[in-house]
């Protein structure tokens, strides 16, 4: 998988990729009328092939590895047209005055959005009817375990990540959202937007117990994949991509989406920046391209993630959906914590506390 930084939350690579992209063996200049601020890897042509077909080249891309650092960079004057945050950051970016509402009539397939994603609080639309976010990719953060080191019974609960038996054999992401999703699930919380002070303290305490077992906090796909395949860790809190990639390499790895506590589901997508300097017409062409039904098969088959377009997902080969865990999307909703946007106050509290936990406090 080429999404080398994925959704990690450490570090910032803010360079625009080189102005020449290889497509089918031919060199094409990138389109300077549209700059997309994205996670590394999403510049791959199949994600936006419709845009390339229409305009003859791909947009220019700048990359980030941390949504908070991306936010601060844009606040400092870095101007782009489109960006790719995840659900839990949308409200903060909107309240910071960085976004402009979407004209959904200009986005092909907007009404094909998966119903479960459309229902997420404060995400796609606000109470005034304005739309701010086009869901693109979604997936699970779940328990990964080496089947040659951990039994299925041990992996039946997320609490195994804090089991002293696995001291120094655990990795979770350096990602505050995934961390508190894990801790919330362990404490029986499925809607973290309603987290009380007591529940926050319980969640933080569990993360401190997990910290005692941590070999490393992974920051990108390379980190976690190497740690698991190299035998450094036996247990991980990670994404679909790692499971798909390492299983394909013959690593004895399982992903348990059916632990007693459940799984977490994240949703990332595209937003239109308020002070977008480029072509607004090309911006909507890009949004339509990434939302095309044809993208669904590619993202499920190649990366193990779901696509926001329900019509496209319905057209994917049933066996491919089953292998990715998407054959019955409704079946895990009751046992999942959707990473919905939380208040700016709660998010900042999570960020500050997670830094203390990682430092051993």
Would the pLDDT of 326 be above 80?
Answer: no
Would the pLDDT of 8 be above 80?
Answer: no
Would the pLDDT of 14 be above 80?
Answer: no
CATH architecture, range 141-263+339-358: 3-Layer(aba) Sandwich (3.40)
Interatomic CA distance for residues 60 and 37, integer angstroms: 9
Rounded mean pLDDT, 17-34: 50
pLDDT given at position 275 = 87
Nearest-Å Rg of the Cα atoms of the chain is 20
Specify the DSSP element, H or E, that contains 173: strand 170-173
Q: Higher confidence at residue 117 or residue 137?
A: 137
For the chain, what are the domain ranges? 20-138+265-329, 141-263+339-358
Picking from 250, 228, 249, 248, the residue whose alpha carbon sits closest to that of residue 238 is 228
Q: Higher confidence at residue 227 or residue 1?
A: 227
Tell me the per-residue pLDDT of 75-93, one tens digit each, with 9 for 90 and over.
999 999 999 999 878 888 9
Confidence category of residue 45, pLDDT binned at 50, 70, 90: very high
Would the pLDDT of 11 be above 50?
Answer: no
Would the pLDDT of 298 be above 80?
Answer: yes
Same fold, 20-138+265-329 and 141-263+339-358: yes
Question: What 8-state DSSP symbol labels residue 172?
Answer: E
**Cβ atoms < 10 Å from Cβ of 246:** 21
CATH superfamily of 20-138+265-329: Periplasmic binding protein-like II (3.40.190.10)
Would the pLDDT of 273 be above 60?
Answer: yes
Confidence category of residue 333, pLDDT binned at 50, 70, 90: low
- Cα separation values, 82 from 128, 134, 227, Å: 22, 11, 33
Tell me the per-residue pLDDT of 142-183, one tens digit each, with 9 for 90 and over.
999 999 999 999 999 999 999 999 999 999 999 898 999 999
Please state, for a pLDDT cut of 70, what percent of the chain lies above it.
89
Interatomic CA distance for residues 149 and 131, integer angstroms: 47
> Pairing between strand 82-83 and 134-146?
unpaired
């Amino acid at each position: 998988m080429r999404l080398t930084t994925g959704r990690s939350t450490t570090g910032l690579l803010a360079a625009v990729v080189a102005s020449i992209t290889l497509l089918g063996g031919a060199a094409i200049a990138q389109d300077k009328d549209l700059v997309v601020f994205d996670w590394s890897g999403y510049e791959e042509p199949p994600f936006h092939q419709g845009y390339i077909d229409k305009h003859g080249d791909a947009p220019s891309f700048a990359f980030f590895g941390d949504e908070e650092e991306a936010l601060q960079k844009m606040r400092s004057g870095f101007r782009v047209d489109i960006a790719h945050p995840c659900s839990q950051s949308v409200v903060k970016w909107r309240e910071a005055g960085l976004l402009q509402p979407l004209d959904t009539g200009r986005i092909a397939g907007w009404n094909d959005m998966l119903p479960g994603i459309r229902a997420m609080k404060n995400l796609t639309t606000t109470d005034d009817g304005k739309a701010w976010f086009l869901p693109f990719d979604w997936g699970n953060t779940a328990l990964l375990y080496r089947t040659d080191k951990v039994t299925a019974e041990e992996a039946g609960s997320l609490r195994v990540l804090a089991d002293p038996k696995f001291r120094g054999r655990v990795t979770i992401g350096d990602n505050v959202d995934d961390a508190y999703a894990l801790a919330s699930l362990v404490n029986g919380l499925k809607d973290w937007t309603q987290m009380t002070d007591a529940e926050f303290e319980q969640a933080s305490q569990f993360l401190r117990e997990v910290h005692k077992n941590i070999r490393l906090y992974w920051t990108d796909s390379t980190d976690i994949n190497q740690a698991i395949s190299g035998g450094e860790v036996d247990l991980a809190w990670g994404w679909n991509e790692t499971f798909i990639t390492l299983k394909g390499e013959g690593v004895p790895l399982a992903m348990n989406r059916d632990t007693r506590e459940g799984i977490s589901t994240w949703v990332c997508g595209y937003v239109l920046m308020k002070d977008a300097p480029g072509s607004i017409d090309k911006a909507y062409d890009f949004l339509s391209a990434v939302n095309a039904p044809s993208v669904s098969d590619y993202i499920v088959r190649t990366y193990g993630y779901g696509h926001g377009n329900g019509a496209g997902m319905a057209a994917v080969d049933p066996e491919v959906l089953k292998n990715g865990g998407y054959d019955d999307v409704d079946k895990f909703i009751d046992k999942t914590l959707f990473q919905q946007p939380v208040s700016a106050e709660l998010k900042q509290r999570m960020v500050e506390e997670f830094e203390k936990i990682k430092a051993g406090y």
